[in-house]
Amino acid sequence: MNLYQNLKVLLLRKSFRFLAARANRGKTPEVAHRDLQVETGSGPLDIRIFDGKESGDRPLMVYFHGGGWVLGDLDTHQPFCEFLTQHSGGTVIAVNYRLAPEFPFPAAHDDCLAATRWVAGNIAGLGPSNGRMILIGDSAGGNLAIATCLELEPGVRERVAGQIVIYPVTDHYESNTPSYREKARGYTLSASMMRWFLDTYLADSGPCAAANAQFLRVKPLVSNQVAMLPPTLLVTAENDPLRDEGLAFAGRLERAGVSLKHRHLENAAHGFVSAGPSEVFEDLMNEISSWLATTT
């Protein structure tokens, strides 16, 4: 990693932490949580467990944060986990996967897969639940949730009751969808920043990335296995470079016969999950709670 790249990553991470903390300061509910380390083949992995008060008859929720596989951690997205725990009553387990550029593809995907397998194998000791789990992610985290569901072996997949994916990455920017042009700038996530995130995570693989089979984990839109995905709540945002690939993914799921609830937020921009309480955030929490109530 060169000096410019190092400084850019450092400044973006600091800015992201500052903005997330400022947006949520004094507004989050108090939710008891505890930190654990999970041993994986790549070393210890930090997780944070937010204890739900009504979790005995519902699945655990395993959460992968957004941030383009480069930004974010347990602290930046703690407010979202606290709100999710409070609104749903269920227990949330947040995963602190490794970030690029220090740990490029497939580190984040491997970590989330390992964490999900670990939760499945230790679910009885992680708090009250019905023995099943929901995978949740926003943006890059949505991509990680989808990819994890696609890669789980049948025995573990049986424990997955569903997935919630919020404005997920489902394709590579080389697909050049209209939303990459129409929503290129003026919102929280720009098209150029999304391109940089992908290039950074894929270690500057450039034009080969979209066609290279090893990167299919980043492009679930083109997977031929989507029919195996669990019941899905998919949320897309109108003001988002990722809008069209999210809409296309909804179409793929419908054609594959996957049980799908798709909500398109006409007045939302990418990134509102970590931007503090708002009308659209409250709408999302209500949508998630309603969907979870019917998903066991």
Catalytic residues: 139, 240, 270
Among residues 91, 99, 38, which one has the least CA distance to residue 66? 99
Among residues 139, 31, 132, which one has the least CA distance to residue 88? 31
Any residues with CB less than 8 A from the CB of 248 and at least 6 apart, and which?
170, 171, 177, 221
The DSSP letter of residue 127 is S
Among residues 249, 226, 104, which one has the least CA distance to residue 165? 249
Other C-beta atoms lying within 10 Å of the C-beta of residue 121: 12
Q: In degrees to the nearest 10, what's the CA dihedral of 99, 159, 283, 142?
A: 30
